């Protein structure tokens, strides 16, 4: 994508983009595409919450044991890197050196991740790491609280949503394609439960930031969603350029 503008020879950028929304609303497809088009870092924060959840389950912890799960979140070393295998993954996720890229997509993680994510101590540990990445700029960050808590200063905030039925259908198709067992009714029920916990928790609940642009993709194809979002980026770029800024250098090594 050509964002074109220059001021005093320096690139003018919409440098921090926050994408939030409920489960399976297309955030990762849109986020990854956008990051690739712009040459930015794509960072999916859901991966971190999933990694802590997986590590807790693997150690046989009770998910209701807030103290133990929080301690774990402070200790486990999560590394998200470029793909190390050519097996359809968007990135590789390591927890204390172990490759858990596919494990974090299992049904037991789906089931336990929202209760884990509701613990304030877990959020505190992960939010600090996410902020550090966000502050370097040139990033598309995806999650539930990016525009509201992690990067409230983001240059562009998108809240991506779709009907629960459409989101469940997409997740169901995705799981089948991956060779996972999947029952549509179960996917729908579990997703609604997760959305409920994510929206009602006290710390950093899922909600639309006051300055976010809502995109409802229920009856849109992926191509039209991407075209629409490209338009939003170009508009925002023009708005920022007209206002005289921002001038941002990438520090993400891209």
Name the residues that contact ligand CDP, by CB under 6 A.
Answer: 23-24, 45-46, 49-50, 113-114, 117, 143-145, 194, 198
Question: Judged by CB, which is closer to ligand CDP: 155, or 167?
Answer: 167
Residue number, 13 or 171, with CB nearest to ligand CDP: 171
Which DSSP symbol is given to 12?
B
DSSP string across 194-247: HHHHHHH-SSS-S---TTPEEEE-TT--HHHHHHHHHHHHHHHHHHHHHTT--B
Q: Which is nearer to ligand CDP, 107 or 213 (CB)?
A: 107
Least distance CB 23 / ligand CDP (angstroms): 4
Residue whose token pair is 């642009």: 213
Q: Return the number of the residue (50 or 155) whose C-beta is nearest ligand CDP.
A: 50
Distance linking the first and last C-alpha atoms of the chain: 15
Question: Looking at beta carbons only, is 54 or 237 nearer to ligand CDP?
Answer: 54
Q: Which residue has the tokens 């459409």?
A: 166
Q: Where are the alpha helices (DSSP H) in the chain?
A: 27-38, 46-58, 66-75, 107-117, 120-135, 164-177, 184-200, 222-242
The smaller minimum CB distance to ligand CDP, of residues 16 and 45, is found at 45
Q: Which is nearer to ligand CDP, 149 or 229 (CB)?
A: 149
Nearest approach, Cβ of residue 146 and ligand CDP (Å): 6
Place of tokens 């295998």: 85
Q: How far is the CB of 24 from ligand CDP (least distance, A)?
A: 5
- The least CB distance from residue 194 to ligand CDP, in Å, is 5
- Write the DSSP symbol of residue 82: S
Please provide residue 107's backbone torsions phi and psi, each rounded to the nearest 5 degrees: -60, -35
Q: How near is the Cβ of 199 to ligand CDP at its closest, in Å? A: 10
- The minimum distance between CB 145 and ligand CDP, in angstroms, equals 5
CB of 44 to ligand CDP, least distance (A): 6
Q: Name the token pair of 33.
A: 């595409």
Q: How many Cβ atoms are within 10 Å of 199's Cβ, its own excluded?
A: 13
Element (DSSP H or E) covering residue 161: strand 156-161
């Amino acid at each position: 994508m050509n964002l074109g503008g220059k001021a005093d020879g320096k690139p003018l950028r919409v440098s921090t983009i926050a994408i939030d929304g409920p489960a399976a609303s297309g955030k990762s497809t849109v986020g990854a595409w956008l990051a690739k088009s712009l040459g930015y870092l794509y960072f999916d924060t859901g991966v971190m919450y999933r990694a802590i959840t997986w590590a807790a389950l693997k150690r046989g912890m009770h998910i209701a044991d807030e103290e133990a799960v929080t301690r774990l979140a402070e200790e486990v070393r999560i590394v998200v890197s470029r793909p190390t295998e050519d097996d359809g993954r968007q990135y590789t996720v390591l927890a204390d050196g172990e490759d858990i890229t596919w494990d974090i997509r299992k049904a037991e993680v789906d089931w336990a991740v929202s209760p884990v994510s509701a613990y304030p101590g877990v959020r505190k540990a992960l939010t600090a790491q996410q902020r550090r990445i966000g502050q370097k700029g040139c990033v598309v960050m995806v999650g539930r609280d990016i525009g509201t808590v992690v990067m409230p200063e983001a240059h562009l905030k998108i809240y991506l949503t779709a009907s629960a039925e459409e989101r469940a259908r997409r997740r169901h198709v995705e799981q089948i394609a991956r060779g996972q067992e999947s029952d549509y009714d179960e996917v729908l029920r579990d997703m609604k439960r997760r959305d409920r916990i994510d929206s009602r928790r006290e710390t950093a609940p899922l909600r639309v930031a006051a300055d976010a642009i809502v995109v409802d993709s229920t009856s849109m194809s992926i191509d039209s969603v991407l075209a629409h979002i490209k338009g939003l980026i170009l508009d925002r770029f023009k708005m920022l350029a007209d206002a005289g800024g921002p001038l941002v250098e990438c520090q993400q090594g891209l």
